[in-house]
Amino acid sequence: MIPTQDPPLPGGDAGATAALVERLFREVYNGQAFDLAEQLFADDYVNHQPGAAPGISGLRQWASTMLTMFPDLTGTIEHMVVQNDRAMVFVAWHGHMAGTGKELNSQTANLYRVRDGRIAEHWSVFDYSALVPFGITPPDQEQPASEPDWHASPAEQENLRLVLKVWEEVMQKQNLDYADEHYRADYIQHNRFAAQSGGGLAGMKQFFAGLFVAAPDLTGTIDHILVQDDFVALFSRWRGREATSGRELKLHTADLLRIEDGRIAEHWDVFDYSAVAQFGIIPPPR
């Protein structure tokens, strides 16, 4: 919902939120100091990651499983957007399988909500395509959504409104003409698969035009959205059916958009290629 008037600017220490998430990756995940989990996570911590056991014990169980498979696993934060008490991070994971040395390169996007200086809630988007060769079966990534936080500066609120409206017009109503006024002509696409359709706004429109032909009822719905300065980060779920076969498409993505002069200028994402493998779509090499 887009508010008709600006809410007051409130609480939520973005700097403390960012520092807490950075510490989580530096000390707990990469440093494997899991004894710190009780300090960093709330006692009633809720993890919405599909298949994860609940609470801090579930976090330890997940970490133990992954580190048994990939003892040198590390996660590098490539992008972070922080708004008040929430942080969304785009993470590149790298490691080698125990016993074989087979290399893993994977991507996730993680959304954390902080309460009283500790992580209280977590959502995620995984690209499971890199994990399938290691025997991991991709789960349904459906997770509960959240409302936009309109406690932001006026400029940030405008960026939120822009992205929400673009998703409504372009990704739900498939009105590609709307993109002409809201994307820069020199728009930069970092998704390797989408970039194959060409550069700039023209390439973006060609990519989505092809998707809408292949799946005429395809829609993208925003589940979570954060804003920080000129960046908007979001989780989306996509639904549709292939025109020729009627096969259902269910896809979850995380998107990071850079806004410049009131237009979308640049895009990064985490894209679960395992969800579209049945349609012959594979990730281009990094």
pLDDT digits (tens, 9 = 90+) for 57-80: 998 898 889 999 999 999 999 999
What are 173-183's pLDDT values in tens digits?
999 999 999 99
Rounded Cα gap, residues 55 and 43, in angstroms: 8
Instruction: State both tokens at 206.
Output: 């060609």
Domain boundaries, the chain: 14-134, 154-279
Fold match between domain 14-134 and domain 154-279: yes
DSSP states of 232-283 as a string?
EEEEEEEEEE-TTT--EEEEEEEEEEEEETTEEEEEEEEE-GGGGGGGT--P
User: Is the confidence at residue 11, as pLDDT, over 90?
Assistant: no
Q: What's phi and psi for 131, nearest 5 deg?
A: -95, -20
Fold of 154-279: Nuclear Transport Factor 2; Chain: A, (3.10.450)
Determine the residue type at 92. Answer: A
- The top-level CATH class assigned to 14-134 is alpha beta
How much is the pLDDT for 207?
Answer: 94
Whether the Cβ atoms of residue 13 and residue 88 lie closer than 8 Å to each other: no
Return the pLDDT at 9. 45
pTM for the predicted model, two decimal places: 0.94
